[in-house]
Chains A and B, each alone.
Chain A
Amino acid sequence: EPEVTQTPSHQVTQMGQEVILRCVPISNHLYFYWYRQILGQKVEFLVSFYNNEISEKSEIFDDQFSVERPDGSNFTLKIRSTKLEDSAMYFCASSAGLTGELFFGEGSRLTVL
């Protein structure tokens, strides 16, 4: 069964450092997303991406965040200068169409010290 894969599963970084989280969406999907989940809280939308550009972003997705699809398979989330409050589980998701099921990866846990 096709799945969304994410790396790394866990990353520990110092405050102020840059972090790149990587995702390989399901191959025939066209819409890509990043969500985050602070421990014990709900899943929050960060950004959606379609046709090589951001289609929507939330207030959380400020200038410290960026996304990129550098090739035909990877979808990355970069945090330029991490803050303590960036510590969370980051989930990548993809969907085949604008309406329809979101498939989530297993997440990347980011710990900022």
Chain B
Amino acid sequence: GESVGLHLPTLSVQEGDNSIINCAYSNSASDYFIWYKQESGKGPQFIIDIRSNMDKRQGQRVTVLLNKTVKHLSLQIAATQPGDSAVYFCAEKNYGQNFVFGPGTRLSVLP
């Protein structure tokens, strides 16, 4: 069935290093993807999105890559900072109106 999943449930990186968070999706019909950041006790916060007609999109310190051939999405965070510590979810827009969320990756930034 349709599913969105993450390869790594936890990721620890040194402050200043780059982070890469991965996500796999199974619905080839999905045409819109969002990365959300969730800090403890808060709601998901939009980071960056990408549509299926693109393979790369850049924001401030973040880049999302979409590989439709292998149904893979990644979030790259440059120069990771302590404030980046959070759980990161990818969300896939399917044929209906609801987004399907992946299980989340916890990013821990080490000093």
Residues of A participating in the B interface, judged by any CB pair closer than 8 Å: 4, 31, 33, 35, 41-45, 48, 50, 55-56, 58, 91, 98-99, 101-107
Total A-B pairs in contact (CB under 8 Å)?
A: 55
Residues of B participating in the A interface, judged by any CB pair closer than 8 Å: 31-32, 34, 36, 41-46, 49, 89, 91, 93, 96-104
List, sorted by A's number, 23 A–B pairs whose CB atoms are closer than 8 Å.
A33-B97, A33-B98, A41-B103, A42-B101, A42-B102, A42-B103, A44-B101, A45-B98, A45-B99, A45-B101, A48-B96, A48-B97, A48-B98, A56-B97, A91-B44, A99-B32, A102-B34, A102-B44, A104-B44, A104-B45, A105-B43, A107-B41, A107-B42
State whether B46 touches A101 (Cβ < 8 A): yes
In the bound complex, CA of A107 to CA of B43 (Å) = 6
In the bound complex, CA of A91 to CA of B31 (Å) = 24
